[in-house]
Structure 1
Amino acid sequence: MKPYRQEIWKYFVFLFMSAVVIGALAGCSGKQAGEEPSAAAVGERIHQAVNLDEMKQGDIKKLVKLYHIEADEVEDFMLYTAASNVKADELAIIKVKDADQAERVKQNILQRIDAQTVKFKDYRPEEYFLIEKHVLKTKGRFVFFAVSKEAAQMEAAFDSAWQH
C-alpha cells in the first residue's frame, strides 16, 4: 500500500508543478516578444500616469500641420496639445508604418521645437523652459515627444509600455 501512496503523491506534485509552469507561461503570453503596442495603449499608460485634462486631443490634420508629416506614413497616433496658444504643452505618440520613417519624423519634430523656441523664448520664459526640457525619442516604429512639467513621468509611462 505504501508504494501506491508514493506514486499518487508524485502524481499530485507533478500536476501542481505543471500548473505553476503553465500559469507562469500564460502570464507572459499577453504580448509576444518584440510585439509593439498600439499608440492608444501607450497613450492610455501615459494618461494613467499624468493628468491630460488641461490639454486637447488632436486629429490627423493637426498632426500633419504641426509636424509636416504625411498622413499615409502614420499607422497610429495620439496627439495632445495645449488648450491655449500661450502654453507650450504637447504630447505626441506617433507610430509610423515603417521604422525607417521614425528618424525623419523625429527631425520634423526638431523643427517644431525650434519654431516653438523662437515663439516662446522672450514672450513666455516659463513655457520656453518646458520646451528646452522636452523629451524626444524613438523606439522601433514609435516617435515620442513631450513638452510638459510632467514630461519625465510621460517618458517613464512610454518606456513601460514595452515591459511585461
Structure 2
Amino acid sequence: MKKLLSLLLAAATLFSLAACGGGTKQADLKKVMADMKPKIKNQEMMELSADDLMPNYGISTDDVKQFAAYVDSTGIKGDEIIFLEGKDADAAKRIKEKLDTRYKQKETEMKDYLPAEFAVLKKCGVNQNGNYVSMIVSPQYEELNKIYNEAVKK
C-alpha cells in the first residue's frame, strides 16, 4: 500500500510539473534583446520605454507583463524589433492585433516611399507563441528570429 501511495504521489508530482511547463518557457525579453544587439547592423537604433507603447502601438501597459523594444531612430529605415509578454492569453491576443496593425501601417508607409525597406519588411512579420508576441523587422530577421524563438519556445 505504501509503495502504491508513493507511486501515485510521484506521478502526481510529475504531472503537475509538466502542466506548469505549459506551451512556452519563461523568457527574459530584455536579455533576449541584449543578446540580439550585437547582431543588428543598424547603428541608429533606440530603445522604447513603457510610455511609448500606447502612442506608438496602441498597447495598454495593463496588458503587458514585460517587453523590450528597439527601433530605428532616423525614420529612413524600417528596422523595428519589439517583444511583449501579455499578462494572459486575452492580453496576448490584443497585443497581437495591435502589432498586426502596426505591421500593416509599415507596409503602407514603405510601399511607395522606401522600396528597399519594403522588400525587407515583406520577409519579416508578427508572431505569437503562447503569451509572447513579437514583431521583428530587420535585414537580419532570420538570425534574430532564431534567437527569439530559442528563448520563448520550450
Contact 1:135 1:155 (8 Å CA) reproduced: no
Partner secondary structure for residue 42 of structure 1: helix
- Is 1:63 aligned with 2:53? yes
**What secondary structure is seen at the aligned counterpart in 2 of 1:76?**
strand
The answer (yes or no) to whether the contact 2:53–2:60 under 8 Å persists in 1 is no
Q: Indicate the residue corresponding to 1:102 in structure 2.
A: 92
Question: 2:66, 2:86 within 8 Å by CA — same for their partners in 1?
Answer: yes
- Residues 121-162 of structure 1 show CA distances to partners (whole Å, capped at 9, x for unaligned) of 111101111221223111121111100000111110001114
Of structures 1 and 2, the larger Rg is shown by: 1
Structure 1 residue 42: Cα displacement? 2.3
Runs of 4+ in 1 over 4 A off after TM superposition: none
2:45 aligned with 1:42: no
How far residue 50 of structure 1 moved from its aligned partner, in angstroms, is 3.8
Query: Which residue in the other structure is 2:62 paired with?
Result: 72
User: Matched residue of 1:88: which SS?
Assistant: coil
The answer as to 2:89 corresponding to 1:116 is no
How many residues align structurally? 133
1:75-99: CA deviation from partner (whole Å, max 9, x where unpaired)? 1110011111111110001111112
Q: Would you say 1:140 and 2:130 are equivalent positions? A: yes
SS at match of 2:113: coil
Give the equivalent residue in structure 1 for 2:75: 85
SS in 1 for 2:36: helix
Structure 2 residue ranges without an equivalent (≥5): 1-19
CA distance in 2, matches of 1:163, 1:103: 18
TM-score, structure 2 as length reference:
0.76
8 Å Cα contact 2:132/2:152 also seen in 1 = no
Q: List gaps (5 residues or longer) in structure 1.
A: 1-31
AA matched with 1:137: N
Partners of 2:153 and 2:130 in 1: how far apart? Answer: 14
Counterpart-to-counterpart distance in 2, 1:142 and 1:111: 17
Deviation at 1:65, TM superposition (A): 1.7
C-alpha spacing 1:89/1:50, structure 2 compared with 1 (3 Å) = closer
RMSD (CA atoms)? 2.1
Q: What is the letter of the counterpart of residue 151 of structure 2? A: A
TM-score w.r.t. the length of structure 1 is: 0.72
CA distance in 2, matches of 1:144, 1:162: 10
